[in-house]
Amino acid sequence: MIHVGKDGNVGEISLSRIEKRNAINQELLDELISAIRDFEKDRDLRVVVLDSFIDDFSVGADIKDLYRMDEENARSFRSKMLSIAESMVRSEKIFISYLTGYALGGGFELSQWTDIIIADKNSKIGQPEVNIGINAGAGGNTILPKEIGYKNAMYLALTGKILSAVEAKEKGIVQEVVNSKEEMMKIAKEIASKDALTATAIKRSMAKALKLEPAEDMKAEEEAFIKLSQSKSTKELLSDFLNK
């Protein structure tokens, strides 16, 4: 479900659950955790790009998995999401996500924990979980208010609005909109060419200023996710979605 590659001092992790448009399940998360850990050991890498091997970055969590999810699986899912968030935030490497096609729900939220988000001009971005009776599954209710403000984050989370790449940039969610992967990689390589110690110092300083502490920050969101995932109304909304 994951493809990995390396171009000089830039690593690439590409989601590749092809038949499900990169819908996130436990197995994909396991492979993503493993890929990040492997790249973390590579001292030559300065930048890691998280992108997709297919047209869509990710359509979000696998709805069938959510529908079948018991409390134990809900906690496991959240634990793996937290592991990925912490790994990227605490890494000395710079993580860049490249959004293409649909980048929704948990998929989009994974990108929010990277240091920079670059989006293809045709991408569609949002957190529509409210429409299926669930809150953020990967920290979106935690980090988005810090990045774009409480009211802006509330509006997006409560309406489930899907944004264009340009709209997302205007709100400060996306840092750059590009026409191609080549343009994105040019930016990644430029960042990778900077002094590594300086880049890490900048990342550490900014993360501290935002008080990014995933394990602490995500506690309230996690308990809400677990409770909602087991509620009757959420199960009904998930069933309705699956039966469309």
Helix (H, G, I), strand (E, B), or coil: what is residue 185? Answer: helix
Residues 153-169 have pLDDT tens digits of 999 999 999 999 999 99
Per-residue pLDDT band at 214 (split at 50, 70, 90): confident
**121 falls within a domain:** yes
Q: What is the pLDDT of residues 87-132, one digit of tens each?
A: 999 999 999 999 999 999 999 999 999 999 999 999 999 999 999 9
C-alpha radius of gyration, the chain, whole number: 17
> How many angstroms separate the CA atoms of 137 and 150, rounded?
18
How does residue 218 score in pLDDT terms, banded at 50, 70 and 90? confident
* pLDDT at residue 180, rounded to an integer: 97
Q: What is the mean predicted confidence (pLDDT) over 21-45?
A: 95
Residue 219 binned pLDDT confidence (cut-offs 50, 70, 90): confident
Q: Is residue 160 part of a domain?
A: yes
Q: Domains in the chain: how many in total?
A: 1
pLDDT at 25: 94
Q: What token pair was written down for 163?
A: 């944004």
* pLDDT of res. 80: 93
pLDDT of residue 221: 85
| pLDDT for res 182 | 97
Tens of pLDDT along 126-143? 999 999 998 887 888 888
8 A C-beta contact, residue 48 and residue 12: yes
CA dihedral 77, 129, 98, 6 (to 10 degrees): 10
Indicate whether 147 belongs to any domain: yes
Residue 135 falls inside a structural domain: yes
| Mean predicted confidence (pLDDT) in 48-55 | 97
Q: Residue 117 maps to which CATH number?
A: 3.90.226.10
Inter-CA distances, 109 with 6, 139, 171, 173, Å? 24, 6, 16, 11
Residue 47: pLDDT over 90: yes
| Average pLDDT of the residues in 49-76 | 93
**Residue 105 backbone class (left: φ over 0; alpha: ψ -120 to 50; beta: rest):** left
Q: Taking 90 as the threshold, does the pLDDT of residue 66 lie above it?
A: no
Q: Does 244 map to a domain?
A: no
Looking at the chain, list the stretches that DSSP marks H as alpha helix, in order from N- to C-terminal side: 26-40, 63-68, 71-90, 105-112, 140-148, 150-159, 165-170, 181-192, 196-210, 214-217, 219-229, 232-242
What average pLDDT is seen over the chain? Answer: 93
> pLDDT value at position 101?
97
Give pLDDT, residue 220: 82
**What is the arithmetic mean of pLDDT over 4-33?**
95
Nearest CA to 127 out of 182, 89, 81, 173 is that of 173
- Give the pLDDT score at 189: 97
Which residues have C-beta within 8 Å of that of residue 6, sequence separation ≥ 6? 12, 42, 45
Residue that the structure tokens 């968030």 belong to? 85
Residue in 132, 82, 135 with CA at minimum distance from that of residue 110: 82
3-state secondary structure of 203: helix
Please give the residue range of the domain that contains residue 120.
2-192
pLDDT tier at 86 (50, 70, 90 boundaries)? very high
Contact 91, 42 (CB under 8 A): no
Note whether residue 208 is domain-resident.
no
What's the pLDDT at 244?
Answer: 81
Residue 210 lies in a domain: no
User: Is there a domain that residue 166 lies in?
Assistant: yes
The pLDDT of residue 37: 95
* pLDDT at site 234: 93
